[in-house]
Amino acid sequence: MDDYQYSCVDRFLRYVTYDTQSDPDSETFPSTDKQKKLAAVLVDELKNLGLVDTHMDDNGYVFATLPGNTGTKTPTIGLIAHMDTSPDVSGKDVKPIIHRNYRGGDIKLGESGVIIKMEDTPDLHNQIGHDIITADGTTLLGADNKAGIAEIFDAIKYFVENPNVKHGTIKIGITPDEEVGKGADFFDVQKFAADYAYTIDGESVGEVEDETFCADTVVLAINGINVHPGYAKDKMINSIKIASHIVEQLPKHTLSPETTKGREGYVHPHSIVGNEEKTVVKFLIRDFTVDGLKEKENFLREICHDVLTHYPRASFDFEVIEYYRNMKYKLDEDNRVVNSALQAVERAGLTPKKHAIRGGTDGARLSYMGLLTPNIFAGGHNFHSRQEYISIQDMQKAVDVIIHLIQIWEEQSR
């Protein structure tokens, strides 16, 4: 592939100009209609590449198929990325900047005053000599996950332009609303008809992610008693104060996102809304094992019981909502899907690194829906922030890995 003319950067620079920010408070699907504008562009590009069954469905998903060209019975492989960007930072009017031949040090993002500081960004040490793409500091960049889309499409272009390279059938799936946890809500696994799949949605070059958190949400409702504050003595039970008391009992130096790393889970008060009579606190509960998840939920429940002993006329409701589970439980049922990805990374001249995601992906839910789907790096960093960046060289390596991955599945089927 030394003489291959990559298209991923040009594609990426086009895609980021589309505002596809999703909305966690929306009741529609997709959560923002503007995602469909990019989806329509992607459909046209896939049609121009000659793929079949290329369409956007009623829910805004983009699907397409590149038929296999091998005589062997090769598994059908799905390649998946998401088109939406995070609600945390604006994705409107993204103005990408290419910083050529990075030589180290801080990176200033235009005239915005925003700086990517090398001392705060260890991965920049691996980017010396690379051409780094950022936004101008007023928006996020959108590498999460428009880089993944661009890399998938570039790999497909390679196979279209090189029909002598054997491959099985490849399915493309571009999803909306991944950033608000709904990317797999209407994904029809049976209709997609892939045997295995990969999301191209990871970070550092060389990483293959085969684990996610197990995730639940606890909705805690505190029921107090409200009376006119002028006549409240010995009568009012202020639910806001009880909720604050409960949050205050959480550990200060453990079990929170800001104090944990690696395989450590957390209990995270995510939102609080209420008044004297009723206050609702939502907690994000995360752990890499189901047992650890339940331990944290029981710990929180015990805190609630203990605090409520000081407010005998108050009560609480404790609802646990299951969100997603560690995809490793499912991926371990067939190790070929992860091992093939690790082998593809190695063939691309990289050091393969198995990695656990301190979060979730569409792949976690899809794995439990019957489609084993680990995650492969896309090359971006500092997702969900104005300091987001990606290197051109890492994007091209992601394309190489996808191409090798598809060939490996075909070779293993001979």
HEC states along the chain?
A: CCCCCCCHHHHHHHHCCCCCECCCCCCCCCCCCCHHHHHHHHHHHHHHCCCEEEEECCCCCEEEEECCCCCCCCCCEEEEEECCECCCCCCCCCCCEEECCCCCCCEECCCCCCEECHHHCHHHHHHCCCCEEECCCCCCCCHHHHHHHHHHHHHHHHHHHCCCCCCCCEEEEEECCHHHCCCCCCCCHHHHCCCEEEEEEECCCCEEEEECCEEEEEEEEEECECCCHHHCCCCCECHHHHHHHHHHCCCCCCCCHHHCCCCCCEEEEEEEEECCCEEEEEEEEEECCHHHHHHHHHHHHHHHHHHHCCCCCCEEEEEEEEEECCCHHHHCCCCHHHHHHHHHHHHCCCCCEEEECCCCCHHHHHHHCCCCCCEEECCEECCCCCCCEEEHHHHHHHHHHHHHHHHHHHHCCC
Choice among 19, 45, 84, 179 that is catalytic: 84
What pTM, to 2 d.p., does this model score?
Answer: 0.91
Q: What is the CATH number of domain 8-212+326-411?
A: 3.40.630.10
Assess contact for 143 and 379: CB atoms under 8 A. Answer: yes
- Given this model, what pLDDT does residue 3 score? 85
Give catalytic status of residue 120 as yes or no: no
Pairing of strands 353-356, 97-99: unpaired
Set 19, 154, 177, 178: catalytic member = 178
Cα(385)–Cα(344) distance, rounded to whole angstroms? 30
Task: Report the Cα 391 to chain-centroid distance in Å.
Answer: 19
Give the whole-angstrom CA distance, residue 67 versus residue 74.
Answer: 11
Give the pLDDT of residue 72: 84
What does the buried/exposed string (b/e) look like for 173-204 if buried means 16 or more CB atoms within 10 Å of the residue's CB? bbbbbbbbbbbbebbebeebebbbbbbbbbbe
Q: Which tokens in the block code for residue 148?
A: 């993944």
Q: Looking at residue 378, what is its pLDDT?
A: 97
pLDDT of 397 reads 98
How confident is the chain (414 residues) per 10-residue block, as mean pLDDT? Answer: 90 98 95 98 98 97 97 94 96 97 96 95 95 98 97 98 96 97 95 98 95 96 97 96 98 95 96 97 97 98 98 97 94 96 98 92 93 97 96 98 98 90
C-alpha to C-alpha distance for 102 and 100, rounded to whole angstroms: 6
Domain spanning 214-323: CATH 3.40.50.2000: no
Active site residue 151: no
Contact yes or no for 200/81 (Cβ under 8 A)? yes
| Domain pair 8-212+326-411 / 214-323, same fold | no
In one letter, which amino acid is 398?
A
**Parallel, antiparallel, or unpaired: how do β-strands 77-82 and 196-202 relate?**
parallel
C-alpha to C-alpha distances, 361 to 79, 183, 240, nearest whole angstrom: 14, 9, 34
Q: Where are the domains of the chain?
A: 8-212+326-411, 214-323
